[in-house]
């Protein structure tokens, strides 16, 4: 396989120097049908056209054909596995932070292991294991967190001492190490050959593969893929899959209906050497030294070593083929810091002879997670790209999930963190992408601490109050491009520098948020929540009500002025969205959803609303500023400002009314707060935002009003056990599983999406339960803080993972939320989870390998907040979004 690798490299040069090259070198492979002399004419029609013959395209083709779809054409502009895939370092590593990525990598590893047997193509698969080194205690914590995740998934993994490192690898200098993580089943492959093997299997299953065929654009009819135009003629098709790697962005923008695929290429360098005097064994573990920003694997008796430098070089910002990939230059000066790190880690390599410095561009995405799924604007247009230099690790799993998505309508796992629809057009600016990927690439090696905020590409969407809040000490985070306040730093108080504030322990804002929470509970706070997605749906007749009744699980046929919390469920009863809907009039509804639902929810509804010109849906997110008044004195502030009684008798909970506040008229006031505290949300037409804010702050002064941010909100909602979509809730979670049956009207007199699945669950019980855990023996000052993704143990056995956590200032304890499963002790089969099962367990939460006792609570938990007024019970039955 290594020979193959080298030959491919030399081919490139040869080809570049010899433009007349056509078919004289076609003796390349005998195992692959794709090496047949071209051109075979293209079919006029196919069910699926895949663009891109790298690891992603071939993996999708392989899995689709395995699942029974045969009418597939795969097009590659050059030769198979000739782009980034060819240059890829070939490391299959399961040490991943995000659980879905970990699953993909684990599947890939298993797939590649048997691929040679299945296809007869030599994939070069060697199980070497990998060692991730820690030079600092913080890095070791980070590795321990990953180790916890790997262990509960059944992937062997160990935290080892520097001494053990030296035993595993003879060349490593261990003097500056504090520990390491060893994953014995990680592997090396020849990525080009893996890709060719997948292509071979796919082609045996009937997939047609055409090399040297470029897709110029995708044609769209009535919002659906109709076909592709290529330089060798058109192909009609129902599905198109964009696996064009770093060209995916451009390909997405080439059609009349643009598809935004936010990714950007950066140069990536690695070094190849001649063999050592005593050639390295081919099963020597791969070494990852994140603090040195490098990876080192054995290669042909020598080494292959690359890394992720602090000052990346983005390229192709202005479009494709400015320079051919093949002509990219080696840049030794740029590589110098990585070479220094390499020689520090393995000083004995000094005398080793250099073979080559390879420059291989990789594509990166705005949030360091890959991009998959269906376009929100063009049905049948699927994407799989933006691998952030982990393409070979993800290739198998990502291809499988995308194939499932196309065949079954949704993958077998929750892939929302990777869904194309988490992005909108706002992330498609080239300037934004260029700046952001320069931050993302170094992040590959940076410490992943909780509550990380990107620094680039900021201040894109802001509330009209931005400057006001900023001047009052606001510290900002970003969600879907929108700036939101985390907390307010009081005047005269300074927080740590950005770098110093990175911690796995108690953060420096602890007391600041504590006082904001206290104010929410005792007086009144204002939180700007303008980022939430807001739609208006209205019709001339009853169409709006009828459609919404079908698409949402709760009963929306409520009197005008009422607000309903409801899920937007899929066929399986899982949450596609979690929202509140206010009935503004008989025929119009105002819908509020989480910020990052803007694209997903719009596409979901658009695809399901009847094609009726009398029924309209409008995205009014930008039209309103939302101010949340939280706290017992919110009533007083608002009634003084509006000269209207706001007490529960006059303005009951879950109620919505247009009224005047200060001089401004037409403010939509809703008695909901998202936190369980009493209060209101004011939806203010943006031109009134500053006025209303000033009025509220002036009037509120005597009631002790202050600004608060999302961290306070988060603490409040988690201690009240409110789930939030995207964090706790996803497309695989039903209302029954999180104690929200009361938000479902199974008997509302008409069918709705997900009803059957919920009825079945109601009858047969649920297989996981949303549970609240209160940490018992956890010291907030000295112990590691929980984050999310921590394994939950019941009576010493793994039962699930946490989904969110926060410090509860009123309980003075940490609270984690998460799902408890019931795995059969012998077979591992999932069993029904009953209330007794939850209540009768002894629980522990694993934070980076250390277990803390926890008390489990199910909803309702009146004993906890017994002193709360009755009114809150209604509010509690609400839900939470962030």
How many CA atoms lie within 13 Å of 791's alpha carbon, on the beta-carbon side?
23
Contacting other proteins (CB under 8 A), which of 25, 317, 412, 425? 317
- The residues, any chain, with a CB within 8 Å of residue 402's CB and separated by 6 or more, are 60, 63, 241, 372, 373, 382, 384, 411
**Tokens, residue 289:** 């030294």
Are 569 and 734 in contact, with CB atoms under 8 Å apart? Answer: yes
Please tell me the count of residues contacting other proteins according to CB under 8 A.
26
Shortest Cβ distance from residue 431 to other proteins (Å)?
6
Dist CA 769 CA 834 (whole Å): 8
Check residue 218 for interaction with other proteins (CB under 8 A): no
Find how far residue 869's CA is from the centre of its chain: 38
Binding mask 188-217 for other proteins (x = CB under 8 A): ------------------------------
Dist CA 202 CA 67 (whole Å): 11
Dist CA 252 CA 285 (whole Å): 39
Check residue 331 for interaction with other proteins (CB under 8 A): yes
Closer of 340 and 839 to other proteins (Cβ): 340
Shortest Cβ distance from residue 95 to other proteins (Å)?
26
Are 630 and 525 in contact, with CB atoms under 8 Å apart? Answer: yes
Closer of 333 and 497 to other proteins (Cβ): 333
Write the DSSP string, 794-809: ETTEEEEEEEEEEEET
Angle (CA) 325-329-335 rounded to 5° is 120
Contacting other proteins (CB under 8 A), which of 114, 137, 167, 329? 329
Binding mask 239-278 for other proteins (x = CB under 8 A): --------------------------------x-x-----
Closer of 221 and 356 to other proteins (Cβ): 356
Closer of 434 and 486 to other proteins (Cβ): 434
Shortest Cβ distance from residue 336 to other proteins (Å)?
4
DSSP code of 416?
G
Shortest Cβ distance from residue 335 to other proteins (Å)?
8
Are 307 and 444 in contact, with CB atoms under 8 Å apart? Answer: no
Contacting other proteins (CB under 8 A), which of 16, 26, 44, 354? 354
Shortest Cβ distance from residue 288 to other proteins (Å)?
19
Shortest Cβ distance from residue 271 to other proteins (Å)?
8
Check residue 342 for interaction with other proteins (CB under 8 A): yes
Shortest Cβ distance from residue 310 to other proteins (Å)?
14
Is 336 buried (19+), middle (13-18) or exposed (0-12) by CB count in 10 A?
A: exposed
Check residue 333 for interaction with other proteins (CB under 8 A): yes
357-376 positions binding other proteins, by CB under 8 A: 357
User: H helices of 47-171, where?
Assistant: 55-66, 84-87, 99-119, 137-152, 162-168
Check residue 311 for interaction with other proteins (CB under 8 A): no
Contacting other proteins (CB under 8 A), which of 336, 571, 658, 756? 336
Shortest Cβ distance from residue 182 to other proteins (Å)?
26
Shortest Cβ distance from residue 422 to other proteins (Å)?
26
540-579 positions binding other proteins, by CB under 8 A: none
Check residue 613 for interaction with other proteins (CB under 8 A): no
To 10 degrees, the CA torsion angle through 359, 363, 364, 366? Answer: 140
Find the part of the chain contacting other proteins (CB under 8 A) among 183-191, 238-246, 326-334, 415-423.
Answer: 326-334
Closest among 313, 312, 280, 310 to 296, alpha carbons compared: 280
420-439 positions binding other proteins, by CB under 8 A: 430-431
Contacting other proteins (CB under 8 A), which of 166, 352, 426, 489? 352
Check residue 319 for interaction with other proteins (CB under 8 A): no
Shortest Cβ distance from residue 25 to other proteins (Å)?
23
Are 179 and 84 in contact, with CB atoms under 8 Å apart? Answer: no
SS3 593: strand
Closest among 454, 483, 527 to 712, alpha carbons compared: 527
Find how far residue 505's CA is from the centre of its chain: 24
Contacting other proteins (CB under 8 A), which of 17, 27, 351, 498? 351
To 10 degrees, the CA torsion angle through 371, 377, 380, 381? Answer: -40
For residue 431, give Cα distances in angstroms to 69, 267, 393, 425, 554: 39, 17, 29, 13, 43
Find the part of the chain contacting other proteins (CB under 8 A) among 335-343, 371-379, 634-642, 774-782.
Answer: 335-343
Contacting other proteins (CB under 8 A), which of 356, 501, 694, 795? 356
Note the residues at the interface with other proteins (CB under 8 A). Answer: 271, 273, 317-318, 329-333, 335-336, 339-340, 342-343, 349-357, 430-431
């Amino acid at each position: 396989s290594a020979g193959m690798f080298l030959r491919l490299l030399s081919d490139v040069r040869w080809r570049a120097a010899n433009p007349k090259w056509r078919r004289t070198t076609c003796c390349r492979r005998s195992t692959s049908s794709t090496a047949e002399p071209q051109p075979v004419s293209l079919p006029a029609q196919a069910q699926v056209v895949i663009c891109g013959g790298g690891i992603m395209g071939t993996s999708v083709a392989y899995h689709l054909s395995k699942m029974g779809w045969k009418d597939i054409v795969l097009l590659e502009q050059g030769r198979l596995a000739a782009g980034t895939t060819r240059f890829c370092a070939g490391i299959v590593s399961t040490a991943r932070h995000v659980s879905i990525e970990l699953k993909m990598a684990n599947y890939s590893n298993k797939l590649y292991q048997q691929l040679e047997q299945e296809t007869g193509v030599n994939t070069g698969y060697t199980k070497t294991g990998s060692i991730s080194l820690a030079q600092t205690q913080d890095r070791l914590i980070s590795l321990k967190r990953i180790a916890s995740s790997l262990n509960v998934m059944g992937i062997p993994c160990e935290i080892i001492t520097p001494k053990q490192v030296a035993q595993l690898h003879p060349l490593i200098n261990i003097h500056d190490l504090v520990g390491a993580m060893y994953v014995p089943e990680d592997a090396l492959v020849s990525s080009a050959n893996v890709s060719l093997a997948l292509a071979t299997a796919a082609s045996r299953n009937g997939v047609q593969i055409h090399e040297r065929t470029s897709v110029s654009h995708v044609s769209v009819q009535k919002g659906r893929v109709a076909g592709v135009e290529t330089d060798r003629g058109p192909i009609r098709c129902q599905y198109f899959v964009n696996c064009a790697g770093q060209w995916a962005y451009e390909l997405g923008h080439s059609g009349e209906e643009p598809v935004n695929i936010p990714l950007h290429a950066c140069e990536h360098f690695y070094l190849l050497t001649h063999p050592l005097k005593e050639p390295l064994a081919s099963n020597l573990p791969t070494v990852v030294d994140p603090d040195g920003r490098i990876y080192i694997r054995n290669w042909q008796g020598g080494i292959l070593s690359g890394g992720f430098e602090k000052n990346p070089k983005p390229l192709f910002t202005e479009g494709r083929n400015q320079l051919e990939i093949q002509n990219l230059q080696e840049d030794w000066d740029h590589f110098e810091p990585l070479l220094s790190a390499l020689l520090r880690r393995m000083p004995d390599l000094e005398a080793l002879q250099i073979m080559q410095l390879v420059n291989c561009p990789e594509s990166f995405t705005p949030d360091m997670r890959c991009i998959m799924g269906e376009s929100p604007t063009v049905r049948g247009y699927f994407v799989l790209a933006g691998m952030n230099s982990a393409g070979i690790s993800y290739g198998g799993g990502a291809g499988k999930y995308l194939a499932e998505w196309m065949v079954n309508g949704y993958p077998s796992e929750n892939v929302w963190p990777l869904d194309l629809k988490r992005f909108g057009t706002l992330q498609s600016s080239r300037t934004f992408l260029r700046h952001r990927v320069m931050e993302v690439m170094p992040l590959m090696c940076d410490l992943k601490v909780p509550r990380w905020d990107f620094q680039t590409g900021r201040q894109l969407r802001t509330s009209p109050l931005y400057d006001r809040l900023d001047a009052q000490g606001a510290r900002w985070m970003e969600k879907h491009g929108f700036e939101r306040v985390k907390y307010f730093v009081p005047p005269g108080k300074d927080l740590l520098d950005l770098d110093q504030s990175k911690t796995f322990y108690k953060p420096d804002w602890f007391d600041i948020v504590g006082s904001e929470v206290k104010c929410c509970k005792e007086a009144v706070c204002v939180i700007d929540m303008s980022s939430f997605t807001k739609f208006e749906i209205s019709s001339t007749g009853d169409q709006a009500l009828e459609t919404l009744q079908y698409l949402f699980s709760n009963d929306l046929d409520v009197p005008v002025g009422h607000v309903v919390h409801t899920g937007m469920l899929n066929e399986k009863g899982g949450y596609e969205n979690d929202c509140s809907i206010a009935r503004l009039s008989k025929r119009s509804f105002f819908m509020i959803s989480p910020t990052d639902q803007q694209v997903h929810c719009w596409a979901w509804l658009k695809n399901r609303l009847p094609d009726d010109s009398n029924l309209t849906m409008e995205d009014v997110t930008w039209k309103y500023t939302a101010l949340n008044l939280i706290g017992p004195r919110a009533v007083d502030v608002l009634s003084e400002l509006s000269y209207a009684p706001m007490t529960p008798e006059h303005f009951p909970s879950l109620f919505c009314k247009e009224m005047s506040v200060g001089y401004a008229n037409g403010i939509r006031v809703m008695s909901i707060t998202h936190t369980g505290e009493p209060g209101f949300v004011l939806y203010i037409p943006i031109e009134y935002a500053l006025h209303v804010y000033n009025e509220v702050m002036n009037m509120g002064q005597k009631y002790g009003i202050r600004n608060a941010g999302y961290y306070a909100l988060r603490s409040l909602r988690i201690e009240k056990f409110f789930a939030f979509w995207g964090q706790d809730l996803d497309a695989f979670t039903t209302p029954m599983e999180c104690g929200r049956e009361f938000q479902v009207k199974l008997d509302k007199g008409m069918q709705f999406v997900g009803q059957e699945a919920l009825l079945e669950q109601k009858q047969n019980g649920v297989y996981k339960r949303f549970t609240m855990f209160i940490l018992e023996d956890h010291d907030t000052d000295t112990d590691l803080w929980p984050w999310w993704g921590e394994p939950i143990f019941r009576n010493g056995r793994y039962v699930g993972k946490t989904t969110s956590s926060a410090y509860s200032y009123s309980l003075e304890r940490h609270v984690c939320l998460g799902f408890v499963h019931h795995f059969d002790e012998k077979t591992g089969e999932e069993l029904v989870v009953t209330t007794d099962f939850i209540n009768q367990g002894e629980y522990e939460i694993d934070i980076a390998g250390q277990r803390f006792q926890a008390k489990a609570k199910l909803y309702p938990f009146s004993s906890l907040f017994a002193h709360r007024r009755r009114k809150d019970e209604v509010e509690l039955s609400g839900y939470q979004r962030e």
